[in-house]
Amino acid sequence: MSNIIKERVTANIDGDFVVFLIGFRVNTFWKIHQWWPVASAMPKMLKELYQNPELGFISHEGSIGRTSIMIQYWRSYDQLEAYAKSKTAVHLPAWARFNKRVGSNGDVGIWHETYIIKNGQHESIYNNMPKFGLGKVGDLVSVTGKNNSARDRLKNGVL
């Protein structure tokens, strides 16, 4: 079993950051040739992002199913946008291939949501979990006293 933290903890992160949710949905299972390139593009991007921390990518979590979701953490929206538009990065050519191959034909859905989180404007709780989500990118702090409830953590800026 991975390193389970057997207590209630919360994540403390200094400064602003971005939570970027991205994923795809397989609408026609039998058209593997349409959705497999979408599914296989992300590992290449993640490898590039982890190898180049100056791009602003911090970490990710993901789940694969008919509708797949990846939660990404970025240092800033400007860095996320710069990566998405970079002509030298893996993302832009993959995006162009998707639009050429699938476009809006209905076979594979893609989606994303972007949240800009201001310093102290987040809260989290983890109990009997390994480091996960914001807990992987921030400092873990025991949940007691002034940060016992979600409302308290938001009111007090976690610490």
Q: Which one-letter amino acid corresponds to residue 73? A: Y
Name the burial class of residue 74, with classes exposed (0-12), middle (13-18) and buried (19+) by CB atoms within 10 angstroms of its CB: buried
Residues 97 and 149 in one domain: no
Check whether residue 86 and residue 110 sit in a common domain: yes
Q: Are residues 42 and 110 in the same domain?
A: yes
Task: Mark residue 127 as left, alpha or beta (left: phi above 0; alpha: psi -120 to 50; beta: remaining).
Answer: beta
Q: Residues 22, 78: one domain? A: yes
Sequential pLDDT tens for the chain (159 residues): 579 999 999 999 989 999 999 999 989 989 888 878 888 889 999 999 999 999 999 999 999 888 999 999 999 999 999 999 999 999 999 888 887 888 888 888 999 999 999 998 999 999 999 999 999 988 998 898 888 888 888 887 655
139 strand-pairing partners: 12
Dihedral, 42, 44, 46, 51 alpha carbons, nearest 10: -170
- Residues 6+ positions from 25 with CB-CB distance below 8 Å: 66, 67, 68, 108, 109, 110, 111
| Residues 48 and 91 both lie in one domain | yes
Q: Which domain holds residue 43?
A: 17-117
Residues 110 and 61 in one domain: yes
Give the Cβ contact number of residue 94 at 10 Å: 17
Q: 81 and 41 in one domain?
A: yes
Q: How many domains does the chain have?
A: 2
Residues 46 and 74 in one domain: yes
Pair (63, 83) in one structural domain: yes
Q: Please indicate, yes or no, whether residues 103 and 41 belong to a single structural domain of this protein.
A: yes
Say whether both 145 and 109 belong to one domain. Answer: no
- What pLDDT is attached to residue 158? 58
CATH of the domain at 74: 3.30.70.100
Q: Are residues 27 and 105 in the same domain?
A: yes
